[in-house]
Amino acid sequence: MLRDVRDPDMRVFVVWEPVLLTDWHAPGAQAVARVPDRRATQFWDPQHALSGEIRRAAESDPQRVLGEHRLRARVVWDFVALYPPGVRWTGAFPAARFAGAPVVRVIDDLHRQMIALNGRRDSSAAGN
């Protein structure tokens, strides 16, 4: 999917975290190879630090932080969020332009949002 988004400046933060019983080890070669895109940076978060931050932020504003996703488990996972340029993380985990889970179910919507965002950037760059 990332291949279809041509924006070379886009950054993808992939955070692996243990959720299932089989997640007793850090992500192996097969896992990290699932995201071969050069714009990606991958992390291993065994203590669910990011998940905890997202949960805390979602307590006050679930719709903006989690999108249509509703927290059912203790850990936020299989989750994706899209941020347009300009969004900064200062206090709580920032609200996303688009967020959802599970990834396989929202990937088409995410793709549309990314293309739209990229197109908007392209047109604004052309206008400058």
Q: Report in angstroms how near the CB of residue 60 gets to another protein at its nearest.
A: 18
- C-alpha angle 87-88-92 in degrees, rounded to nearest 5: 115
- Give 44's contacts (C-beta < 8 A, 6+ positions apart): 16, 17, 26, 27
One-letter amino acid identity for 5? V
Q: Report in angstroms how near the CB of residue 23 gets to another protein at its nearest.
A: 5
**Of the two residues 12 and 62, which places its CB atom closer to another protein in the complex?**
12
**Of the two residues 33 and 60, which places its CB atom closer to another protein in the complex?**
33
**Of the two residues 60 and 104, which places its CB atom closer to another protein in the complex?**
104
Report the distance separating Cα 117 and Cα 29, nearest Å. Answer: 31
Report the distance separating Cα 53 and Cα 82, nearest Å. Answer: 16
Q: Report in angstroms how near the CB of residue 53 gets to another protein at its nearest.
A: 7
**Of the two residues 10 and 64, which places its CB atom closer to another protein in the complex?**
10
Residue 49, classed as helix, strand or coil, is helix
Q: Report in angstroms how near the CB of residue 106 gets to another protein at its nearest.
A: 11
Site residues (CB under 8 A) for another protein? 7, 9-20, 22-29, 31-33, 35-38, 40-51, 53-54, 76-89, 96, 103, 110, 114, 117-118, 121
Residue 8, classed as helix, strand or coil, is coil
